[in-house]
Amino acid sequence: MATTLSPLAPASFPTLPPIAGVRIATANSGIRYKGRDDLLLAVLDPGTSVAGVLTRSLTCSAPVIWCRDSLPKGSARAVVVNAGNANAFTGKAGDATVQATVSAAAEVAGCAPDEVYIASTGVIGIPLAADAIGKCLAPMAPSLAADSAAWEKAARAIMTTDTFPKGSVRTARIGGTTVTIAGFAKGSGMIAPDMATMLGFVFTDAAIAATALQDMLSEFTERTFNAITVDGDTSTSDTLLLFATGKAGNAPVSSADAAELAEFRAALEDLLLDLALQVVRDGEGATKFIAITVRGADSDAAAKRIGMTVANSPLVKTAVAGEDANWGRIVAAIGRAGERADRDLIRITVGGTLICAEGMEVPGYDETPVTAHMKGKEVDIDIDLGLGKGTAKVWTCDLTHGYIDINGSYRS
């Protein structure tokens, strides 16, 4: 695990309050890491509903397949997450590990196997013993806790190359009842989600049906976790799960569009965006956080595709790393995004300074303020295509030698 704290890290892990109906324990499994917890067990009260978004990778992990098959039931009682081994591309051995893990967790929680959700992150292609995770779960049961300290332990236990744990909390009112949403995530490299982030787990005490949770999570993921990228690589293990224990006492809500969910919807999307941006701020080797706004595209989808093309451009990202105001690389990325663009209508602004318009560099352009802006830790790029009403915002980080150092030695 990386030891040098990202220069973009928040000052501290937030204080996450207990969520009624959620108990958490962590332990060291011995699978890969020494001297740190790398296994998480959460037990949820009966009646907990669940929603999820999962990687669309065709080489996804065995845990992803299990979660995908279980989600239609909409009920959850336990969550098991390990770090250090992704249990991906491990064939029938991987399936056996999942089965043994699920059986052990179901025994602890006193539930059906398909009410257990699992996720794994780490090295791909190394089979685990069937009981490598399952044998650890029963001994963890006595330490299950609902206190605030458990959240940070959980966030740290699922880290791999992350340099800091990522957590967030929000409150909202549903009717006359205050509800809480708390969650944590991990992710640092292999970040170009096609569903969610690498791993993310969000819990609320609200009473909301699984179908409504799913509608909200799917919608908000597109503007949060699916709008970030570190390196353009989608993981085999990407999993984002949302659980609602129903313990807050609000009148149960069955529709994502219900008027009484307006405040909750805003709070949930804000929390998801907070976690997603923390992942970007912990990008492997990152020294700069880049926000890219695209407007004037043919559609929102076109704007997002252009924004992600710019965000994933190694040339743009290395220019930012080198504090080089080479705006021609942005132009090139726009042109190859596969969406309509007109040279003479494009306007590019960096750090508030208009650089090009009407098909060329603006007369009298002074690079000095742009260079000064790029020397900071936060870089803002604004692209106006001048074609339509499509807009999108995406986030990424720079690409440095640190990324190569981390990934060149990840298995050693």
Could you tell me which of 294, 315, 316, 289 has the C-alpha nearest to residue 304?
294
For residue 377, say whether it is annotated as part of any ligand binding site. no
Taking the alpha carbons at both ends of the chain, their separation in whole angstroms is 11
- Rounded Cα distance between 122 and 85, Å, is 4
DSSP letter at 186 equals E
Could you tell me which of 381, 393, 388 has the C-alpha nearest to residue 339?
388
- Rounded Cα distance between 393 and 386, Å, is 16
- Rounded Cα distance between 194 and 176, Å, is 36
For residue 186, say whether it is annotated as part of any ligand binding site. yes
Residue 356 β-bridge partners: 348, 361
For residue 160, say whether it is annotated as part of any ligand binding site. yes
Q: What totals of helices (H) and strands (E) does the chain contain, helices first?
A: 11, 15
Q: Which residue has the tokens 């595209």?
A: 297
Could you tell me which of 303, 314, 379, 384 has the C-alpha nearest to residue 337?
303
Torsions phi, psi for 67 (to 5 deg):
-65, -40
Chain centroid, CA 178 distance in Å: 26
211 is catalytic: no
For residue 197, say whether it is annotated as part of any ligand binding site. yes
Q: Are 104 and 116 in contact (CB under 8 A)?
A: no
In the set 26, 197, 204, 234, the catalytic residue is: 197
353-357, strands of its sheet edge to edge: 360-361, 353-357, 347-350, 378-384, 289-297, 390-397
* Catalytic machinery residues: 197
Annotated binding site: 160, 186, 197, 284, 407, 412
Annotated binding site for substrate: 160, 186, 197, 284, 407, 412
